[in-house]
């Protein structure tokens, strides 16, 4: 056999070996189809929501909120603004005949019938209701409306692909299940609010401690795409910068157990207050609920305004409150007062017809509670117990375990908090399940 023939023979053997290592043809075609949908459907959806959410957040934080607060501050009535949030939101929902809004019910309905859950004009009315509640200072967070808005955009994006598929053959290969677009859109929007793509995707796919693995990959891709848009425009700064870097020690794991126990009891108390206020206010029409809740919110905002130099204790999600308690400048009494005020304000906002999310609110409740415990638990490490308590409290209220841990790592940039945060969140969820 000549050298040339020998080389050809070895080449054919090599090609057969390579083909043997490749997956079957049907599997390769399925992988190609999935990759095509990821590149031409999921990635553009994430980028679109990244642009939309970045514009909304920057407009809210840098223009709308300072404008409104400046007007009311000049007339020394800044503490009244949160009360107007509920009045404006409930009046709008009544005038537009939208009625009581439950973002969680809409998202649950989207799992069964996405198109029924997000009719276009009703969706726009709910978006404006969210803007009234959060923009004027109601005690709710942006992650709830963001998750809902992302899901609604995902449905409209699916409709757009379907319309294009009827006219061009290429788009027929991009059609995916409506629920996949709903979850991907929700993940992308929440990733912008959290400044954390993995937390955003898990927040959309984890329910009652179970992760929907079918939508996990599209949600992660969409969240990463949206976050890259945020980084390109704003930058990669973490949502909650810590005062120092921590190192994992055995005593931190020991303290995580009582922290989780206390946060589980606190979460049960918050939910009991919320359900009690909801039952009490349900007897009144929506507008009257907003008026009564608005009076309550204005009264709850007064301590932060008059005693703590305009500190936003009860307003919005509570990110400013979290950063304040992490600094460790307040007394233990002030910290427990912050937690109590935030619990009452959030329960009042949601019970009276306000629209918004609870995640950042519950983190701020737990962080304030943790600041109260910091004096007895590792006072030499300021900020550690508050963050551990914050994610444990939030995990117990929402009955999730993975989201708090990933949220803690991504939003602080400190992986040493993961293990104690996981222990505290697990204990808190178990305690809450025993009480409610």
List the chain pLDDT tens, one digit each, 436 residues: 566 565 666 556 655 655 555 556 666 566 777 788 888 899 999 999 999 999 999 998 888 888 888 888 887 788 888 989 999 999 999 999 888 877 777 777 777 787 788 777 787 788 888 888 988 889 999 888 888 889 889 988 988 998 998 888 888 888 888 888 989 999 999 999 999 999 999 888 877 666 777 788 899 999 999 999 999 999 988 899 887 777 777 788 888 999 999 999 999 999 999 999 999 999 999 999 999 999 999 999 999 888 888 788 999 899 999 999 988 877 888 999 999 999 999 999 999 999 888 999 999 999 999 999 987 777 777 788 999 999 999 999 999 988 999 999 999 988 888 899 999 999 999 999 887 6
Contacts of 185 (CB under 8 A, 6+ apart): 45, 49, 150, 151, 152, 153, 154, 155, 157, 222
Please report the pLDDT score of residue 19 as a whole number: 55
Please report the pLDDT score of residue 413 as a whole number: 86
Element (H, E) at 206: strand 206-207
Helices 81-95 and 65-74 pack at an angle, to 10 degrees, of 120
Clarify whether residues 299 and 357 are in a common domain.
yes
- How many structural domains compose the chain? 2
Clarify whether residues 205 and 263 are in a common domain.
no
Clarify whether residues 160 and 192 are in a common domain.
yes
pTM, entire model: 0.89
Smallest Cα–Cα separation from 83: which of 140, 141, 136? 136
| The two three-digit tokens of residue 276, written as one number | 């009690």
Contacts of 275 (CB under 8 A, 6+ apart): none
Beta strand 210-211 with 206-207: parallel, antiparallel or unpaired? antiparallel
- 35 assigned to some structural domain: no
Clarify whether residues 174 and 255 are in a common domain.
no
Smallest Cα–Cα separation from 107: which of 201, 244, 207? 207
Please report the pLDDT score of residue 37 as a whole number: 86
Please report the pLDDT score of residue 394 as a whole number: 96
| The two three-digit tokens of residue 167, written as one number | 């006219």
Clarify whether residues 225 and 346 are in a common domain.
no
For every residue of 299-355, DSSP letters joined together read HHHHHHHHTTTT--SSSSS-HHHHHHHHTT-S-HHHHHHHHHHHHHHHHHHHHTT--
SS3 138: coil
Please report the pLDDT score of residue 347 as a whole number: 96
- 19 assigned to some structural domain: no
Clarify whether residues 224 and 198 are in a common domain.
yes
Please report the pLDDT score of residue 416 as a whole number: 84
Nearest-angstrom CA–CA distance, 373 and 361: 19
- 239 assigned to some structural domain: no
Clarify whether residues 203 and 79 are in a common domain.
yes
| The two three-digit tokens of residue 84, written as one number | 């107007």
Smallest Cα–Cα separation from 107: which of 186, 39, 164? 186
Q: Is the distance from CB of 257 to CB of 430 less than 8 angstroms? A: no
Clarify whether residues 214 and 267 are in a common domain.
no
Nearest-angstrom CA–CA distance, 301 and 81: 9
Q: What is the CATH number of the domain that holds 135?
A: 1.10.3080.10
Nearest-angstrom CA–CA distance, 280 and 380: 44
Nearest-angstrom CA–CA distance, 189 and 201: 9
Clarify whether residues 293 and 182 are in a common domain.
no
Clarify whether residues 220 and 282 are in a common domain.
no
Instruction: Supply the range of the domain harboring residue 81.
Output: 41-233
Clarify whether residues 218 and 268 are in a common domain.
no
- 7 assigned to some structural domain: no
Nearest-angstrom CA–CA distance, 340 and 69: 24
- 356 assigned to some structural domain: yes
- 240 assigned to some structural domain: no
Clarify whether residues 348 and 410 are in a common domain.
yes
Among 233, 258, 290, the domain boundary falls at 233
Contacts of 268 (CB under 8 A, 6+ apart): 396, 431, 432, 435, 436
Q: Is the distance from CB of 47 to CB of 229 less than 8 angstroms? A: yes
Q: Is the distance from CB of 93 to CB of 125 less than 8 angstroms? A: yes
Please report the pLDDT score of residue 294 as a whole number: 93
- 221 assigned to some structural domain: yes
Please report the pLDDT score of residue 253 as a whole number: 85
Smallest Cα–Cα separation from 58: which of 46, 66, 47? 66
SS3 96: coil
Contacts of 378 (CB under 8 A, 6+ apart): 251, 252, 255, 384, 385
| The two three-digit tokens of residue 419, written as one number | 């293990």
The alpha carbon of 29 is separated from its chain's Cα centroid by a whole number of angstroms, namely 36
Smallest Cα–Cα separation from 137: which of 313, 396, 281? 313
Burial track 313-332 (b if 16+ CB lie within 10 A, e otherwise): bbbbbbbebbbbbbeeebee
- 17 assigned to some structural domain: no
């Amino acid at each position: 056999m000549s050298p040339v023939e020998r080389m050809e023979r070895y080449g054919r053997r090599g090609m057969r070996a390579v083909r043997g290592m490749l997956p079957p043809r049907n599997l390769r075609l399925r992988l190609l189809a999935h990759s095509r949908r990821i590149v031409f459907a999921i990635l553009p959806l994430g980028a679109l929501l990244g642009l939309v959410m970045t514009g909304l957040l920057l407009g809210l934080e840098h223009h709308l909120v300072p404008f409104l607060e400046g007007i009311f501050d000049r007339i020394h009535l800044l503490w009244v603004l949160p009360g107007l949030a509920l009045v404006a939101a409930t009046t709008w929902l009544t005038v537009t005949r939208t009625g009581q809004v439950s973002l969680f019910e809409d998202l649950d309905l989207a799992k069964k019938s996405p198109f029924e859950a997000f009719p276009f004009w009703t969706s726009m009315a709910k978006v404006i209701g969210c803007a009234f509640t959060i923009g004027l200072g109601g005690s709710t967070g942006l992650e709830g409306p963001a998750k809902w808005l992302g899901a609604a955009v995902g449905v409209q994006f699916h409709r757009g692909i379907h319309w294009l598929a009827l006219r061009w053959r290429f788009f027929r290969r991009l059609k995916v299940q409506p629920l996949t677009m709903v979850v991907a859109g929700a993940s992308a929007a929440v990733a912008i609010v959290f400044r954390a793509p993995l937390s955003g995707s898990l927040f959309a796919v984890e329910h009652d401690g179970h992760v929907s693995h079918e939508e996990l990959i599209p949600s992660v891709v969409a969240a990463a795409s949206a976050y890259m848009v945020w980084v390109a425009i704003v930058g990669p700064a973490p949502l909650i910068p810590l005062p120092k870097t921590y190192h994992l020690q055995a005593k931190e794991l020991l303290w995580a157990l009582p922290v989780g126990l206390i946060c589980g009891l606190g979460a049960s108390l918050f939910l009991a207050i919320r359900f009690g206020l909801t039952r009490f206010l349900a007897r009144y029409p929506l507008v009257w609920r907003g008026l009564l809740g608005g009076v309550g919110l204005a009264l709850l905002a007064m301590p932060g305004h008059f005693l703590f130099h305009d500190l936003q204790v009860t307003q919005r999600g509570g990110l400013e409150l979290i950063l304040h308690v992490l600094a460790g400048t307040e007394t233990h009494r002030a910290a427990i007062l912050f937690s109590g005020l935030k619990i009452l304000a959030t329960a009042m906002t949601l019970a009276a017809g306000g629209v918004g999310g609870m995640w950042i609110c519950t983190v701020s409740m737990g962080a304030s509670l943790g600041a109260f415990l910091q004096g007895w638990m590792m006072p030499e490490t300021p900020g550690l117990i508050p963050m551990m308590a914050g994610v444990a409290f939030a995990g117990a209220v929402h009955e999730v375990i993975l989201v708090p841990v990933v949220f803690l790592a991504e939003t602080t940039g400190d992986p040493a908090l993961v293990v104690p945060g996981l222990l505290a969140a697990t204990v808190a969820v178990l305690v809450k399940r025993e009480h409610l």
